[in-house]
Structure 1
Amino acid sequence: MPKFDMGAAWDDSMVLLKSHSVLTGAIVAVFFFLPRLALSWFGPVPIEPAPGATFDQVMAVLSASMRQIAPYELLVSMVGAIGGVGVLRLWLSRTGISVGEALVFALKMIPTMLAVQIILTVGLVLIAMLCVMPGVAAGGGAVGILLVVIGLFLFLGIAIYLWGRLALISAAIADRSIFNPVVAIGESWKLTKDNGWRVALFLLLVTIVIAIIFGLFGLVVGAAVGTGEGIGRLLTGLVEGGGAAIGGLVGVAIVAAAYRQLAIRSANDVFS
């Protein structure tokens, strides 16, 4: 397998971001910005543990908060994935395609993307449970806390690696019209062979930069108007929506660039 070149992928992603900019911007606004904005404005407020809560109480509150927000996050992620497939269909076309055709294709792929989301979510939940289970079983003492922390770091490492190996699922679906979710997952796994950590590192670095920029912006907004109900939540939602839109678009561009670099199979297999 060819080695993934981060510099070349970044240059290619910038080229992609400049192509169809108005059209892709409209798709991103509908599928990335608006869903995140709606969740921020109308979604459930995170549950916070009471002051002086014990370890077990904190874990229970965090678990309840995750269960509360998980369905909404899954829906927002699903909508973003559909929009991402539409943008990828535009960018990875070898012959040219209209926005309408790209969106129709993305809508046809909803069952496939939903199945992929469910498979990946269930897989990550099972891995997380296996990683933290020893610490939870050990109880709330020092040993249990230490095992939970170790388990969380282990899960983080596994999740980052899987992120790199499975990053090209949407691109493979968009380019090759793969309707079988298992085949799509397998295609990404095959394309990223020997490059999983490289792709993951590239995605992680870009994500961290975008998160820092919008995180600082969000802190400024929060310090100026607060984060409670009213204007604070309104402006915070706009920041979160903007971060989701820009981060989502850049992320899709990076995925497309990585796919274009790793998926070339012959001299005639080139993208427009």
Structure 2
Amino acid sequence: MAKFDMGAAWEDSVALLKSHTTLTGTIAAVFLFLPSLAVAWFGPAPIEPPQGATLEQISTTFQQNVWQMLPYQLTVAVFAVVGTVAILRLWLSRTATSVGEALAFAARMIPTLIGLQILTGLIVGIGFVLLIIPGLYLIGRLALVSPLVADRGIGNPVDAIRTSWDMTRDNGWAIFFFLLLVTIVIVIIMLILMGVVSVVTGTGPGIGHIVSGFLESALGVAATMVTIAISAAAYRQLATRASTFE
């Protein structure tokens, strides 16, 4: 099995981000940015634990926040997976594809995408229960499921998971650490920018809430686009090398 080349994957990721910018930017704005921004601006305010709260009260408050945000987060997640696959379709298509065609394809694959989210979430979750390390490894092994659906139109979630597993053999850790390194850089940049904005505008009601919500959504979309590009680049690299050695 060919070894995953991080340098080549990063160069391909940058090339993908620069391609179809108008088309992918439109999809990202509608399906990634606007839903997130709507929740940030109009979603329910977090419930704060009482002053001097006990551990039980803090736990209860956390559960209340999770439950009140769940419908909003699920809606955002559905928009996100459709947008992600549509963007991947544009990047990975071997023929000219319009935004409408990419979105129509992604809409047809919604049942598959929901099934994939559930199955991969369960698999990785079980891995984290088993002392965390297996969960980290599984992230790398399942990183290609979305590109596989976008490129090959695989309708069976189990088949997508099995194919990703086969393609990432001997490369699970390399893909995970590549994703981890990029994530760390993105998080540091986001924390710095959010910190500067919070100092300048504050985070309370009014302009601070509007600006911080806008920036948080924008940075989240940028981070998501980079992650999508990395998964697409990893898929293209491993798919190409696999066909070369067959």
- The two structures, once aligned, show a CA RMSD in angstroms of 2.2
| TM-score, scaled to structure 2 | 0.90
Q: In the comparison of the two structures, how many residue pairs are matched?
A: 245
Alignment match, 1:183: 159
Within a 5 Å distance, the mapping from 1:146-185 to structure 2 comes to 154-155=131-132, 157-185=133-161
Is the contact made by 1:214 and 1:239 (CA closer than 8 Å) also made in structure 2?
no
Superposition deviation, residue 219 in structure 1: 1.5
1:109-162 per-position Cα deviation (integer Å, ceiling 9, x unaligned):
11111122233345556666x57xxxxxxxxxxxxxxxxxxxxxx44x444322
Partner of 1:36: 36
Mapped partners of 2:120, 2:60: distance in 1: 24
For residues 34-77 of structure 1, what are the alpha-carbon distances to aligned partners after superposition, in whole Å with 9 as ceiling and x for unaligned? 11111111122233333332333323322332233233223222
CA separation in 1, counterparts of 2:179 and 2:189? 16
| Residue matched to 2:49 | 49
Q: Distance in 2 between matches of 1:83 and 1:170?
A: 11
Aligned to 1:81: 81
- Is the contact made by 2:16 and 2:229 (CA closer than 8 Å) also made in structure 1? yes
**CA displacement, residues 133-192 of structure 1 (integer Å, 9 cap, x when unaligned):** xxxxxxxxxxxxxxxxxxxxx44x444322212111110001110111121122222222
Give distance in 2, aligned partners of 1:199 and 1:124.
15
Stretches of structure 2 that go unaligned for 5 or more consecutive residues are none
Shift of 1:95: 2.8
Structure-to-structure mapping, 1:99-248, within 5 angstroms: 99-123=99-123, 154-155=131-132, 157-248=133-224
Q: Which amino acid aligns with 2:10?
A: W
Separation in structure 1 between the aligned mates of residue 237 and residue 91 of structure 2, nearest angstrom: 13
Deviation readout 1:177-236 (Å, 9 max, x if unpaired) = 011112112222222222112111111211221222122211221122221222111111
> Following superposition of structure 1 onto structure 2, how do residues 54-73 of structure 1 map, counting pairs within 5 Å?
54-73=54-73
Query: Is the deviation greater in 233-242 or in 210-219?
Result: 210-219
Equivalent position of 2:3 in the other structure: 3
Identity %: 52
Moved over 3 A (4+): 120-128
